[in-house]
Structure 1
C-alpha cells in the first residue's frame, strides 16, 4: 500500500474514532464505580514505605556533606 493510501486509511480511522459516540450505560458505570475497592488506590504504599530512600536523589550529588 502506498503512503497516500496508508495516510488516507489512518485519517479515516482517526476520524471514526474522534466522532464515534457509543451509547454509554451510565447506570452500569455508576455500579462499577460504586463497587470499586477504595484500598486499591493505596496498594503500592507498603512498597513505597519499604523502598523509598531519598538519600540517593540526584540533587545531592554535587553537594558537600
Structure 2
C-alpha cells in the first residue's frame, strides 16, 4: 500500500499544470526564437543526410 499519497500528489500537480498556466516571459521567448539557426547549421544537416544510403535494408544485410 502507501500509493495513495503519491497518487494524490501527482493528481494535484497534474491539475495545477492543466488549469494554471505559468507566467511566460514573452520577450525572452522572442529573443530565443529570433536567434534561430543559421543557414550553415541547416547545410551541415543536409550534408549528413546525403551520407545515408537510400536503401535502409543494406544496413542490416550481411557484409559480403
With the shorter chain as reference, the TM-score category is: 0.5 to 0.7
How many residues are paired up?
57
Task: Give unpaired runs (5+ residues) of structure 1.
Answer: 59-65
1:4 corresponds to: 4
2:30 corresponds to: 30
Mapped to 1, the partners of 2:15 and 2:37 lie a distance apart of 36
Mapped to 2, the partners of 1:54 and 1:8 lie a distance apart of 51
Mapped to 2, the partners of 1:45 and 1:2 lie a distance apart of 52
The C-alpha deviation readout for 1:14-61, integer Å capped at 9, x for no partner, is 1122223222222221122112224376242211101x2123349xxx
CA RMSD of aligned residues (A): 2.6
Going from structure 1 to structure 2, the CA distance change for 1:35 and 1:55 (only over 3 Å counts) comes to closer
1:48 corresponds to: 49
1:15 corresponds to: 15
Q: CA deviation at 1:10?
A: 1.0
Mapped to 1, the partners of 2:57 and 2:19 lie a distance apart of 45
